[in-house]
Amino acid sequence: MVFVDATYFSRWYCLLELRAALAAFAHLAGSAGSTPDQRMHALAPVVIVLPEAGASGLDPWNLPPELQRVDWPTASDPVAVATLV
């Protein structure tokens, strides 16, 4: 579970956390012959939680395209977050 905000992608320790969360995906993305289904399966454990204001002010390019397209819950909706977890 990654709680992102406007400065999340500028903090080195947050980027290390995200890199660790995406390691399986990155490995598959760099492997010849991996399928889109395999890559999506590698992303299944990753849950993004947006700030209360939503995705405004966030740069989606810091996430794989597969994660950019998801309608992630906000921190102000703990029921939606718990459902994903």
Q: Is residue 30 within 8 Å of 23, Cβ to Cβ? A: no
Mind listing the pLDDT tens digit for each residue in 1-46? 999 887 888 899 999 999 999 999 999 988 888 898 998 899 989 9
pTM of the model: 0.80
Distances 60 to 12, 31, 44, 73, 77 between C-alpha atoms, Å: 17, 24, 18, 15, 20
pLDDT tens digit sequence for 35-66? 989 988 999 899 999 888 766 667 777 888 88
Q: How many domains does the chain have?
A: 1
25 within 8 A of 64, measured Cβ to Cβ: yes
* Residues spanned by the domain of 27: 2-84
- The pLDDT of residue 57: 65
